[in-house]
Structure 1
Amino acid sequence: MANALQQLAETGVAVWLDDLSRSRIQSGELARLVEHGGVVGITTNPTIFAKAIGSGTGYEKQVHDLALRGTAVGEAVRLLTAWDVRAACDVLRPAADRTGGRDGRVSIEVDPRIAQDAARTAAEARGLWWLVDRPNLFIKIPATLAGLPAITETLAAGISVNVTLIFSVERYQAVLDAFLAGLEQRLAAGGSLEGLESVASFFVSRIDVEIDRQLDAMAKDGHAEAKGLRGKAATANAQLAYEVYEETLASPRWLTLQAKGGRMQRLLWASTGVKDKAYDDTRYVVELAAPDTVNTMPAATLEAVADHGQPHGNAIAGTYEAARVVFADLQRIGIDFASVVTELEETGLASFAKSWDELIASVTSQLEKAGAEVMPAGAVRPIGDDDKTSGTGPASAAAPQTAAK
């Protein structure tokens, strides 16, 4: 069953799980996936947390304690999510130690509603890094143009970053520049690059969903070539991103940083769950296997790959010219790819912001049921040292214990 996952690992693909919940942690399921299922990392997002905390399962005791303490809802959301991420970091710590911190990472995202404000994003990144307090953490920052400086500032502060919501090669190039600038600024300030890691989360399946929708409409209008281009854009887009990655590896700018202890930002293939049943359910894993990449999969995709995935080594090698032909064909028949990726970024941010609002509403409801007089989301009580949900201070009463592995 794990043969396909082992083959991916041998190719240089780090298998991560795109999911996290209190029940997955406390039941020991996460530990089993790490110990026996080949999982060496975890990604989360506001939608995942909205679903997990909205169910209420496993969060009751901590919510009750937060209610007794009169915790503001905004702070309660952060304490609930930080506990899950911290516990997951502890489960993944052996993988982090084994890989020198390259893997064994768990991501937590900044508030997506401030993605266009670099200063606030960087400030929240520092706050989350302090709150979770684990060396194998990733702070997840959306790759908006306005937010790129936050990526540089956060890395320069010595905080490891997962840059998310990347849909185009052009934006990926800007993200790489922000990454390199962050390392350069850290060195210039006398800091060390030891332990500093980053991934660039390049979204895959959503590209095909939108491009295929347009191609289907064109096919109905009698465009002969449209049908033959279905399902090609997302993989070609990712392949060209990997070409940029390889070019950057050989650049003098990177080689200078590498000589001073830097570790290259890896491409992480995100949104790898197949949305169209006409496609093989493992395609965005098998077709994008390549050295030094990460593939974060929803649970269903991970199970599918383990069950019937057929990796065949480095699937990206030698694909760049064919990928360029795909985009030339799409442009020739009238697909405006720049507009597609702009819309996808806007839609992705809006979706995560909506999930964040749903999460706040859910936690508000749960706090009220626990008897709290809930403060508004904007009225956040200052967080003191005792508010880290581990340790011996008063906040430790709000921190459930991790299930023994």
Structure 2
Amino acid sequence: MNDRLKALADAGVSIWLDDLSRGRLKSGNLAEMIADYYVSGVTTNPTIFAAALAKGADYAEQLQGLTDVDEAITACTTTDVRDACDLFADAYRATKGFDGRVSIEVAPTLAHDTEATIAQAKELHGLVDRDNVLIKIPATKAGLPAITETIAAGISVNVTLIFSEERYREVMDAYLAGLEKAAAAGIDLSGIHSVASFFISRVDSEIDKRLAALGKDELKGKAAIANAEVALGAYDEVFGSERYQALAAQGANVQRPLWASTGTKDPAYPDTLYVSDLVADGVVNTMPEKTLLAFADHGEVGPSIQGKAAHGAEVLAEVAAAGVDLPEVFEVLETEGVDKFIVSWHELQATVKGALEAANA
């Protein structure tokens, strides 16, 4: 067992791997990471599956006889997620559903279609057929009511592509509204879980670019962590509210903050920056394998960011005063996030189309 990752887990951070492939499952690599690296969950996205299915040999057998590209994608991805869910079953039971989770995302082409997102969330949940699956829904304006309705149906959700405190509060409201509808329908709230994926490194990448243009290099590398500090303060407020306490009395669970996009993109920054500096009891950090292994090798557990919302707000105010339009930044990041996943989705479709032709030649 790795001592550095143990220290991180002991500080209350759930370590999830931001990657999944059939090769990782078949080789025993994922099982090894669970056993030796404190990995207690997995997240996926269209980019991850595009990379996984590009290694066509791992999926060739399952693709034989299939002809429809989207059906083939669904078959392959839900199989991988189901098998990963089974690997994490012990962690799921041991943590009463908070960990041992595996996420699968609705098609990013549905990001602005509420009803289609709800329908596909239910479809994916049924196809994976494991209690510890999380259905990923983007925090777009159209995604918010889809989150409410999916939670109301008793389906656990990973809300993705959150960049701002304002949108994060809307996400938490959508979650609580879903719990209230589920309770009214007589659904057991204790079986419903959710995480809210707050993106980190992309915030610094966009804001640093703008700060450099403004000649304010001294503020670079500070905004993303400050944004997370503010988000954690919002979380504490919402889940300390009377509204949530009324739901908790009926068995409801908090919607845990999840730090996503935690691999550093600027080589000038420490490669463990968005792990070491984002420690708080009860949060999830989902890491690319490179970042996880870097922390296992030389990472240090930093001080908790709990209670530092005021500090984070001060830093963001400095950034805004320097001339960075933060609302515009967050809008750009959401749009780019959806667009990047759509590009990956089309790459995935093209890869699977080629694999189907090869498998059925």
* Cα distance in 2 for residues equivalent to 1:57 and 1:173: 43
Q: Which residue of 1 aligns with 2:92?
A: 96
Contact 1:16-1:39 at 8 Å conserved across structures: yes
Give the residue type in structure 2 aligned to 1:106: V
Q: Which residue of 2 aligns with 1:301?
A: 291
- Identity of paired residues, percent? 53
Q: Which residue of 2 aligns with 1:16?
A: 16
Residues 62-85 of structure 1: per-residue CA shift (max 9 Å, x gap): 112xxx2x4411111100101111
Q: Secondary structure at the match of 2:39?
A: coil
Contact 1:22-1:57 at 8 Å conserved across structures: no
Query: Residue 59 in 1 paired to residue 56 in 2?
Result: no
* Cα distance in 2 for residues equivalent to 1:322 and 1:247: 16
Q: Paired residue for 1:261, among 238, 251, 263?
A: 251
Contact 2:214-2:322 at 8 Å conserved across structures: no
* Cα distance in 1 for residues equivalent to 2:307 and 2:124: 41
Q: Secondary structure at the match of 2:294?
A: helix
* Cα distance in 2 for residues equivalent to 1:213 and 1:332: 16
Residues 139-184 of structure 1: per-residue CA shift (max 9 Å, x gap): 0000001210000000000000000000000000000000000000
Q: Tell me, which stretches of 5 or more residues in structure 1 are unaligned?
A: 220-225, 373-405
TM-score by length of 1: 0.88
Q: Which residue of 1 aligns with 2:163?
A: 167
How far 1:59 moved relative to its partner? 1.0
Q: Secondary structure at the match of 1:268?
A: strand
* Cα distance in 2 for residues equivalent to 1:255 and 1:80: 40
Larger Cα-atom Rg: 1
Contact 1:201-1:268 at 8 Å conserved across structures: yes
* Cα distance in 1 for residues equivalent to 2:317 and 2:14: 31
Residues 296-353 of structure 1: per-residue CA shift (max 9 Å, x gap): 000000001111111035x203422221221111111210010011011101101101
Q: Which residue of 1 aligns with 2:2?
A: 2
Q: Which residue of 1 aligns with 2:38?
A: 38
TM-score by length of 2: 0.98
Query: Residue 345 in 1 paired to residue 334 in 2?
Result: yes
Query: Residue 333 in 1 paired to residue 322 in 2?
Result: yes
Aligned-residue Cα RMSD (Å) equals: 1.1
* Cα distance in 2 for residues equivalent to 1:82 and 1:325: 44
Which 4+ stretches in 1 moved above 6 angstroms?
A: none
1:308-387, aligned counterparts within 5 Å? 308-313=298-303, 315-371=304-360
Contact 2:232-2:306 at 8 Å conserved across structures: no
How far 1:8 moved relative to its partner? 1.5
Q: Which residue of 2 aligns with 1:49?
A: 49
1:204-283, aligned counterparts within 5 Å? 204-219=200-215, 226-283=216-273
* Cα distance in 2 for residues equivalent to 1:347 and 1:243: 26
* Cα distance in 1 for residues equivalent to 2:314 and 2:272: 24
More deviation, 155-164/242-251: 242-251
More deviation, 324-333/360-369: 324-333
Q: Secondary structure at the match of 2:102?
A: strand
Contact 1:23-1:57 at 8 Å conserved across structures: no
Give the residue type in structure 1 aligned to 2:350: A
Residues 104-135 of structure 1: per-residue CA shift (max 9 Å, x gap): 00000000101111111000000000000000
Contact 2:206-2:329 at 8 Å conserved across structures: yes
Q: Secondary structure at the match of 2:140?
A: coil
Give the residue type in structure 1 aligned to 2:354: S
* Cα distance in 1 for residues equivalent to 2:2 and 2:351: 37
Contact 2:92-2:132 at 8 Å conserved across structures: yes
Give the residue type in structure 2 aligned to 1:146: A
